[in-house]
Structure 1
Amino acid sequence: METRYLGNSGLRVPALSFGTGTFGGKGQLFGSWGNTDVAEASRLIDICLDAGLNLFDSADVYSGGMAESILGEAIKGRRDKVLISTKATFRFDENDPNGVGSSRFHLLRTIDAQLKRLSTDYIDLFQLHGFDAKTPVEETLRTLDDLVRAGKIRYLGVSNFSGWHLMKSLAVADRYGWTRYVANQAYYSLIGRDYEWEQMPLGLDQGIGGVIWSPLGWGRLTGKIRRGQPRPEVSRLPGSSDFGPPVDEERLYHVVDALDRIAEETGKTVPQIALNWLLQRPTVSTIVIGARNEEQLKQNLGAVGWNLTPEQVAVLDEASAVTPAYPYWHQRTFERNPSPV
């Protein structure tokens, strides 16, 4: 497995990491993703480690904490062989007014609970799951810096921040000498290229590594969805499409048509090609893959160890291109502001 630096840090991570959103299966959203138990999770982790994939990503809200608990059980006795990434910020306790956000109160309590569920003394990469506009950035960053100094967290990142949220946080961290974010867990795929408009240039400038979630476009780039064919019975889309990013169907079919053509040329699967395209994009440190079972996991692991040709990348670039929002389309008309890709 290829490894890459996580942004401008000294930590090397595998090009592919494993997401535990399928662990537990509690609730409508996560139930539609999967219901992996401890025994199956242990087997999936075995396969990952055999392939050189040692980074496992979770979050407190995944199945109400069950995903973290299952991950913690599945890695017992081999904590030193894995890297754990997890997240918090979203509401965890519906009955507690402080059970949400990035306040000092919530983060300190949440991290301790996550460490207990994960059966570990430290988290390798902790990411804020979203931006909390109600809590001062200084309060959040000072708290996270304290947690790093206490040894409970080793590296920091964010997820689902806009560019200005992240840049403001970096500026505040630099002002006070607090620990900087080095990772940005963001949605990016052939049918969701908004990451390229602002967050990719920011990552290049500030040394922030992309940790890419939903690289198959919320299940739309699995190869199961094609023009004129019924939707698959088993998919992340039924029951959860309201949570996923909207995609114009004709554009989706255009991208899948291009993927099909390249699949014929390479002998690779549609998901493998979609993942490999992402691996060649600037700032991408690791791609979070998920799997309901061993077969899906082994298929996704086949996305590494080879590369699309520049011509094939260009075909996919053209098929998936959209006009960026203002001011990004305007900025790209000025020769001194070239696109990062």
Structure 2
Amino acid sequence: MRMRKLGRTGIEVSAYCLGTMVFGKMGNPDHDDCVHMIHRTLDAGINFVDTADVYGYSETEEIVGKALKGRRDEVVPATKFNGPMGEDPNRSGSSRRWVVQAVEGSLKRRLQTDYIDLYQIHHPDPHTDIEESLSALTDLVRAGKVRAIGSSNLPASEIIEAQWVSQQRGLHRLRTEQPTYSLLNRGIEREVLPTCRRYGLGVLVWSPLAMGLLTGRYRKNAPRPDNARMHWVPRHLTDEHKLDAVEQLLTPAEGTGHSLAHVAMAFATSHPDVTAAIIGPRTMDQLDDLLVGATLTLGDDILDKIDAIVPPGTDISPLDVSYVPPSLTHTDLRRRPSRERAAA
């Protein structure tokens, strides 16, 4: 397994990172099987494991904690906070109040470890000053509970703001960013990846298989496969433009002698600004198949063919993009009040 520096933290991680979102009630409810999969991953040379407190509402972190017993020193575990952990509105977000509570739950009660290698803000929080969050996270680093801090799904402007606040206030800065990136969603190539390069951030990308669309199991004008991960997504949201692109991408993939899934993973890890791509297998067979393609590299001829199908910096549709800025979702942020329009 190829190893890479995680930004400028000095930590070395594998080019594949095991994502655990589907471990537990959200995918594979067999805890022993999930632990076995984590051990199989570590044995294959993957030392990077990503989870979050909100996955399975704590269940997934508990599974990871079981798997880390006896092998903690060989693993770089990353987890996230920010998602709602109950009906209490203060058990979510990025406030200092919640950050200092959330980390304790992840540490001792679930992951069963004394420190977290990478602690990440799961989503942007428009209701909390970034200085508030960074101040709390800085205290966690200084207390030895966290080794490095990062973010997930931040737009380039907020990455820059966070770096500026850290510099001006003498706070620890975000060292990583976790955006979505795949053959079908390349929007981060425009600003997010160049910004991460400018500030020396490590980048671990999620959904490199586009929520399963790039496994080759989804085909245009064909029924969805049984037990597929995207089974819960309404059919009309499985954008036909994406399925058109999948059909076209199958041709260059066949030229490599590998499956589309292997090519998709190789594409994600081939970008020089990407540190690791997150894999999210639900079964041992899926894990073993992904490991087979771990050494694949793509030549310029294949990458040029991919660029012709999905141009650099473009998203075919927003299905995989988890964060949409409030300015696009709240009409009152982009329209004058009716009384002002009437007076104009």
Q: How does 1:34-49 map to 2 (within 5 A)?
A: 34-49=27-42
- What root-mean-square deviation, in Å, do the aligned CA atoms of Structure 1 and Structure 2 show? 1.8
Provide closer, same or farther for how the CA distance between residues 173 and 100 of structure 1 changes in structure 2, counting only shifts above 3 A: same
Aligned partner (choices 86, 93, 96) of residue 104 of structure 1? 96
After superposition, give the CA deviation of every residue in 1:99-119 in whole Å (9 maximum; x if it has no partner).
Answer: 111111100000001112111
Distance in 2 of aligned mates of 1:316 and 1:190: 8
- Say whether the 8 Å CA contact 1:18–1:55 is kept in structure 2: yes
Aligned partner (choices 199, 202, 206) of residue 213 of structure 1? 206
Distance in 1 of aligned mates of 2:284 and 2:139: 39
- Say whether the 8 Å CA contact 2:39–2:67 is kept in structure 1: no
Alpha-carbon distance, 1:207 to partner:
1.0
Distance in 1 of aligned mates of 2:209 and 2:94: 29
Aligned partner (choices 275, 286, 295) of residue 285 of structure 2? 295
- Say whether the 8 Å CA contact 2:209–2:215 is kept in structure 1: yes
Paired residues, number: 314
Aligned partner (choices 260, 284, 288) of residue 274 of structure 2? 284
- Say whether the 8 Å CA contact 2:181–2:208 is kept in structure 1: yes
Distance in 2 of aligned mates of 1:183 and 1:241: 32
Alpha-carbon distance, 1:55 to partner:
1.0
Indicate whether 1:92 and 2:85 are aligned.
Answer: yes
Provide closer, same or farther for how the CA distance between residues 113 and 189 of structure 1 changes in structure 2, counting only shifts above 3 A: same
Provide closer, same or farther for how the CA distance between residues 73 and 240 of structure 1 changes in structure 2, counting only shifts above 3 A: farther
Provide closer, same or farther for how the CA distance between residues 240 and 71 of structure 1 changes in structure 2, counting only shifts above 3 A: farther
Alpha-carbon distance, 1:322 to partner:
6.8
Provide closer, same or farther for how the CA distance between residues 75 and 38 of structure 1 changes in structure 2, counting only shifts above 3 A: farther
Distance in 2 of aligned mates of 1:323 and 1:88: 28
2:310 is matched with: 320
Indicate whether 1:305 and 2:295 are aligned.
Answer: yes
Provide closer, same or farther for how the CA distance between residues 210 and 252 of structure 1 changes in structure 2, counting only shifts above 3 A: farther
1:152 is matched with: 145
Normalised to the residue count of structure 1, the TM-score between the two structures is 0.88
Distance in 1 of aligned mates of 2:194 and 2:238: 24
2:124 is matched with: 131
Letter in 2 for 1:302: V
Indicate whether 1:236 and 2:226 are aligned.
Answer: no
- Say whether the 8 Å CA contact 2:78–2:118 is kept in structure 1: yes
Alpha-carbon distance, 1:176 to partner:
2.1
Alpha-carbon distance, 1:87 to partner:
0.2
After superposition, give the CA deviation of every residue in 1:41-63 in whole Å (9 maximum; x if it has no partner).
Answer: 22112211121001111001101
After superposition, give the CA deviation of every residue in 1:226-278 in whole Å (9 maximum; x if it has no partner).
Answer: 22322212211121459x9x6641343234322x2233222211100011011
Distance in 2 of aligned mates of 1:14 and 1:309: 21
Structure in which a larger fraction of residues adopt helix? 2
Q: How does 1:1-341 map to 2 (within 5 A)?
A: 1-25=1-25, 30=26, 34-94=27-87, 96-115=88-107, 116-240=109-233, 248-258=239-249, 260-321=250-311
SS at match of 2:232: coil
1:328 is matched with: none
- Say whether the 8 Å CA contact 2:122–2:153 is kept in structure 1: yes
2:342 is matched with: none
SS at match of 1:218: helix
Provide closer, same or farther for how the CA distance between residues 99 and 182 of structure 1 changes in structure 2, counting only shifts above 3 A: same
2:334 is matched with: none
Distance in 2 of aligned mates of 1:161 and 1:193: 15
SS at match of 2:159: helix
After superposition, give the CA deviation of every residue in 1:172-207 in whole Å (9 maximum; x if it has no partner).
Answer: 111122211111111111111111121011011111
Q: Which blocks of at least 5 consecutive residues in structure 2 are unaligned? A: 316-344
Normalised to the residue count of structure 2, the TM-score between the two structures is 0.87
Letter in 1 for 2:299: T
Alpha-carbon distance, 1:89 to partner:
0.6
After superposition, give the CA deviation of every residue in 1:146-180 in whole Å (9 maximum; x if it has no partner).
Answer: 00011110011100111111110111111122211
Provide closer, same or farther for how the CA distance between residues 39 and 184 of structure 1 changes in structure 2, counting only shifts above 3 A: same
Identity %: 38
Letter in 2 for 1:309: G
- Say whether the 8 Å CA contact 2:263–2:296 is kept in structure 1: no
Distance in 2 of aligned mates of 1:47 and 1:148: 31
SS at match of 2:275: strand
- Say whether the 8 Å CA contact 1:186–1:211 is kept in structure 2: yes
- Say whether the 8 Å CA contact 1:255–1:320 is kept in structure 2: no
2:330 is matched with: none
Alpha-carbon distance, 1:220 to partner:
0.7
Q: Which blocks of at least 5 consecutive residues in structure 1 are unaligned? A: 326-341
- Say whether the 8 Å CA contact 1:38–1:71 is kept in structure 2: no
